Amino acid sequence: MKNFILTLAAALLIVSCTDKKPVTNTHITGTIKGFSNGMLYLQKMADTAIISIDSVKIKGNSKFQFDFDLDSPELMYLVVNRGVTNSIDNSLPIFAEEGTINVDTELNYFYANAKITGSKNHELFEQFQEINRKYTNEILEISKEKYNAMRFNRLQDVDSINTKLDKKVTRKYLHAINFALFNKDYEVAPFVALSELSNANIKYLDTIHNSMTPKVAKSRYGKLLTELVTERRKVN
């Protein structure tokens, strides 16, 4: 009888251990106010395609949680499927890193009103994006100005508009370069170099590449930057 009890206890212990969820190093939790019915997806870029790595069915409770493993900090996307409701505001970028990241947002302004905490890389990413969007919008406005000058045959204005456009594009590049160099200790630095500076002068990419700390250089984006610089060196 004693042996039977010991065997049963051992079996229960094995079952309880088997039932435990695997330990993961990254957790994205949060609330989407007003989202009570639909699917929420966690996606990322793989090569040249966006793939889903997990999903949650939202039904009655606007809270969610994703648990997964990250080898190094990486840009992820929370994507809502609103069912029959169409919206361009369905994707929320999150620069994920190990630990717990909290997302507080609402369905009607999913991207615009999102507050994301718990990731230093994401905090820096938001700071970069805020200024980068400003430059992008200004470049777009100047481009429209150039288009209208050509459309209405104001050719005397085109040269000055081109000069203004070149200066703004240069400032946008310099902002990305300075950001990557100043934040060389974080994985967001090579990401910005890859996403904003892939066609920049090789000397700037070289400088950013050489400034990376060993930890950042071993990250996904650090390795991709190394590959890019190596390829660019071959043709320069």
Fill in the DSSP letter of residue 118: S
Query: For residue 16, is pLDDT > 90?
Result: no
Q: Measured between alpha carbons, how far is 87 from 179 in angstroms, rounded to an integer?
A: 32
C-beta separation of 197 from 224 below 8 A? no
Give the start-to-end residue ranges of the domains of the chain.
24-118, 122-234
- At residue 31, what are phi and psi to the nearest 5 degrees? -135, 135
DSSP codes of every residue in 147-198:
HHHHHTT-GGGHHHHHHHHHHHHHHHHHHHHHHHHHTTTSTHHHHHHHHH-T
Q: How far apart are CA 190 and CA 204, in angstroms?
A: 12
**Residue in this structure with the two tokens 């050509």, named with its chain if needed:** 150
Residues in the chain: 236
pLDDT at 17: 47
- Lay out the sheet containing 91-96: strands in order across: 49-59, 37-46, 74-81, 91-96
d(CA 96, CA 100): 9
How far is it, in rounded angstroms, from Cα 110 to Cα 125? 18
Q: Tell whether the model's pLDDT for residue 5 goes beyond 70.
A: no
Query: Is the model's pLDDT at 1 over the cut of 80?
Result: no
**Over pLDDT 90: what percentage of the chain?**
82
Separation of alpha carbons 117 and 131, rounded Å:
20
pLDDT digits (tens, 9 = 90+) for 181-220: 999 999 999 999 999 999 999 999 999 999 999 999 999 9
Ranking 89-93, 126-130, 183-187 by mean pLDDT, the lowest is 89-93
Phi, psi (5° rounding) for residue 67? -125, 125
Multiple choice CATH, 24-118, 3.10.350.10, 3.40.50.970, 2.70.50.60, 2.60.40.180: 2.60.40.180
Does residue 11 carry a pLDDT above 60?
Answer: no
CA 23 to chain centre: 24
Q: Sorting pLDDT into bands at 50, 70 and 90, what band is 124?
A: very high
In tens, the pLDDT along 98-119 reads 999 999 999 999 999 999 999 9
| 190-202 burial: b if 16+ Cβ within 10 Å, else e | bbbbbebbeebee
